[in-house]
Amino acid sequence: MSTDSTKTAAATSLTGSATGEPTHPVDRRPPLVHLGALGAQHVAVMYSGCVAVPLVFGAAAGLDTHTIGLLVAADLLIAGLITVVQSLGLSRLFGARLPVVAGASFTAVTPMITIQGAYGLPAVYGSMIAAGVFGMLIAWPFARLVRFFPPVVRGTAVTVIGLSLVGKAVDLIAGSDPDDPGYASTDRLVLAAGVVALIVVLTRFARGFLAQTVVLVGLLVGTGAAAVLGMTDFGAVAGTDWFGVPDPFRFGAPEFPVAAVVSMCVVMLVIFAESTAYLMAIGEMTGRPVGRAELARGLAADGLSSAAAGVATSFPDTVFAQNVSLIRMTGVRSRFTTAAAGVLLVLLGLMPKLGEVVASLPGPVIGSVSLVMFAMIALTGIRSLSHVDYDGTHNGMIVALALSVGMIPVVAPHLYDGFPSWFRIIAGGSISSAVIVAFFLNIFFHHLAFNRRPVRSNPDGTTATPTKERT
Measured between alpha carbons, how far apart are the two ends of the chain, in Å? 54
3-state helix/strand/coil string of the chain: CCHHHHHHHHHHHHHCCCCCCCCCHHHCCCCHHHHHHHHHHHHHHHHHHHHHHHHHHHHHCCCCHHHHHHHHHHHHHHHHHHHHHHHHCECCCECCCCCCCEEECHHHHHHHHHHHHHHCHHHHHHHHHHHHHHHHHHHHHHHHHHHHCCHHHHHHHHHHHHHHHHHHHHHHHHCCCCCCCCCCCHHHHHHHHHHHHHHHHHHHHCCHHHHHCHHHHHHHHHHHHHHHCCCCCCHHHHCCCCCCCCCCCCCCCCCCCHHHHHHHHHHHHHHHHHHHHHHHHHHHHHCCCCCHHHHHHHHHHHHHHHHHHHHHCCCCEEECHHHHHHHHHHCCCCHHHHHHHHHHHHHHHHCHHHHHHHHCCCHHHHHHHHHHHHHHHHHHHHHHHCCCCCCCCCHHHHHHHHHHHHHHHHHCCCCCCCCCHHHHHHHCCHHHHHHHHHHHHHHHHHCCHHHCCCCCECCCCCECCCCCCCC
pLDDT of 318 strictly over 80: yes
pLDDT (tens digit per residue) in 271-281: 888 788 789 88
pLDDT of 468 strictly over 50: no
Q: What is the pLDDT of residue 64?
A: 73
- Most confident of the following: 250-254, 267-271, 376-380: 250-254
pLDDT of 450 strictly over 80: no
Choose between 421 and 63: higher pLDDT: 63
Q: What is the pLDDT of residue 240?
A: 67
Cβ atoms of 249 and 311 within 8 Å: the answer is: yes
Q: What is the pLDDT of residue 1?
A: 46
Q: What is the pLDDT of residue 202?
A: 87
**What is the maximal distance between C-alpha atoms in the chain?**
77
> How many other C-beta atoms are found inside a 10 Å radius of the C-beta of residue 411?
11
Closest to 134 (Cα-Cα) out of 294, 307, 256: 307
pLDDT (tens digit per residue) in 21-62: 678 889 988 888 888 888 988 887 777 667 767 866 776 677
Predicted TM-score (pTM) of this structure: 0.69
pLDDT (tens digit per residue) in 108-158: 776 787 788 778 999 999 999 999 999 999 999 999 887 887 888 878 877
CA dist 388 and 408 (Å) reads 24
Q: What is the pLDDT of residue 7?
A: 39
pLDDT (tens digit per residue) in 151-182: 888 788 778 877 877 877 788 788 777 877 77
CA dist 423 and 416 (Å) reads 8
pLDDT (tens digit per residue) in 295-313: 999 999 999 999 999 999 9
Q: What is the pLDDT of residue 400?
A: 94
Q: Average pLDDT in the 344-360 region?
A: 76
Closest to 323 (Cα-Cα) out of 306, 343, 341: 341
Q: Average pLDDT in the 276-290 region?
A: 86
Q: What is the pLDDT of residue 297?
A: 95
CA dist 253 and 263 (Å) reads 20
Choose between 321 and 13: higher pLDDT: 321
Mean pLDDT over the full length of the chain: 80
Query: 457 falls in which pLDDT band (50, 70, 90)?
Result: very low
Closest to 343 (Cα-Cα) out of 120, 77, 148, 67: 77
Q: What is the pLDDT of residue 13?
A: 38
Domain ranges of the chain: 31-451
pLDDT of 17 strictly over 50: no
Would the CA dihedral through 250, 253, 255, 261 be positive or negative?
positive
